[in-house]
Amino acid sequence: MKIIKAESAGFCFGVKRAVDTVYKCTETGTDEKIYTYGPIIHNEEVVKDMEKRGVRVIRSEEDLAALKEGTVIIRSHGVEKRVYEELEKKGIHIVDATCPFVKKIHKIVEKHSEQGDRIIIIGNPDHPEVQGIRGWAKSPVSVIRNVEEAESFSCPADQKICIVAQTTFNYNKFKELVEIIEKKSYDVSVLNTICNATKERQTEARSIAETVDAMIVIGDKHSSNTQKLFEICRKACNNTYYIQTLGDLDLNQLGSVETVGITAGASTPNNIIEEVQNNVRIIF
């Protein structure tokens, strides 16, 4: 009997850094209130655990407006520039856990927009990371997420354009959309700001799922990257289970299999992955 756990399962570098930052802040022993700007990750278990340690979540503009003191931790997705400015104005202590790869996009967008470039973000306009990136531009921004939007994009012919991507955007789709825009003969600089962490996790999950009898994908039901991981694994292995925690897994279902693969979405903590791995090991 064999269990193969994906090395890339669970937190990416940026999420791990943000989660560690929150726990470190809770250990300082001061009475200062700690907030995260939005839930630190898409994982109910982790957010609940942080709440138990006194960490509150700023969920709306009203929450932000009502804030008078304390420490605010910026999550890995990053935020608009105006959020830093508002917090600074109130004298609130900011702990910036924006992923450095996202921070890099903020700097690109700020610099290019200062030079007068039109910014195009290839990504989902509703995603907080994209909203954050948008908030660093000093010139008009277009967010493009599909072929129709790329085809209908237009701006003055002499306008320089700078294209960046949401870090988790699919590379092939990004290329396709960039090609459509480039055909319009604008002066375009393209900066591929896609982060490889997601792709590597998906590639490894697919190759494990192809070789095992059963595959377990661990992650929050609302996490889009876990849903995608599940789809990829199920295509390669019919016997794929999507669980949030060990409690969702019926170990009897794994009774007759010889090899089990395990992977997890970007917001699944290591202790949950280990717990599943250890319990699967016990039944074999």
CA-CA-CA-CA torsion sign (260, 264, 270, 272):
negative
Residue 271 CA to residue 89 CA, distance in Å, equals: 39
In degrees, rounded to 5, the angle at the alpha carbon of residue 71 between the alpha carbons of residues 67 and 74 is 95
Residue 14 CA to residue 107 CA, distance in Å, equals: 17
The reply on whether position 14 binds ligand F3S by CB under 6 A is yes
* Residue 127 Cβ vs ligand F3S, minimum distance, rounded to whole Å: 12
CB 173 within 8 A of CB 179: no
The closest residue (CB) to ligand F3S is 14
| Cα dist from 146 to 118, 123, 165, 181, 184, whole Å | 18, 9, 13, 12, 16
The reply on whether position 13 binds ligand F3S by CB under 6 A is yes
Residue 70's CB is within 10 A of a number of other CB atoms, namely 15
The reply on whether position 226 binds ligand F3S by CB under 6 A is no
* Residue 184 Cβ vs ligand F3S, minimum distance, rounded to whole Å: 29
The reply on whether position 197 binds ligand F3S by CB under 6 A is yes
How many of the chain's residues bind ligand F3S (CB under 6 A)? 13
In the complex with ligand F3S, which residue's Cβ is closer, 159 or 203?
A: 203
Candidate list 137, 190, 195, 246; residue touching ligand F3S; CB under 6 A: 195
Residue 38 DSSP one-character state: S
The residue among 231, 267, 226 whose CA lies nearest residue 11 is 267
In the complex with ligand F3S, which residue's Cβ is closer, 260 or 269?
A: 269
The residue among 126, 176, 114, 117 whose CA lies nearest residue 151 is 176
Candidate list 21, 71, 167, 268; residue touching ligand F3S; CB under 6 A: 167
The yes-or-no answer on residue 110 being catalytic is no
Q: Which stretch binds ligand F3S (CB under 6 A): 7-15, 139-147, 206-214, 240-248?
A: 7-15
| Cα dist from 25 to 32, 72, 93, 226, whole Å | 10, 10, 12, 28
In the complex with ligand F3S, which residue's Cβ is closer, 102 or 260?
A: 102
What residue ranges in 52-204 does DSSP mark as E strands? 55-58, 71-74, 93-96, 118-122, 141-144, 160-165, 187-190
Residue 161 CA to residue 47 CA, distance in Å, equals: 39
CB 78 within 8 A of CB 45: no
Which position among 61, 80, 110, 129 bears the catalytic label? 129
Structure tokens at 224: 């889009």
In the complex with ligand F3S, which residue's Cβ is closer, 36 or 241?
A: 36
Q: Which residues are annotated as a binding site?
A: 12, 42, 77, 99, 127, 167, 195, 223-225, 267
Q: Which of residues 82-101 bind ligand F3S (CB under 6 A)?
A: 99, 101
In the complex with ligand F3S, which residue's Cβ is closer, 10 or 261?
A: 10
In the complex with ligand F3S, which residue's Cβ is closer, 25 or 102?
A: 102
Candidate list 25, 72, 97, 102; residue touching ligand F3S; CB under 6 A: 102
* Residue 152 Cβ vs ligand F3S, minimum distance, rounded to whole Å: 29
Candidate list 198, 202, 223, 226; residue touching ligand F3S; CB under 6 A: 198
Which residues form the catalytic set?
129
Q: Which residues bind ligand F3S (CB under 6 A)?
A: 12-15, 76, 99, 101-102, 167-168, 195, 197-198
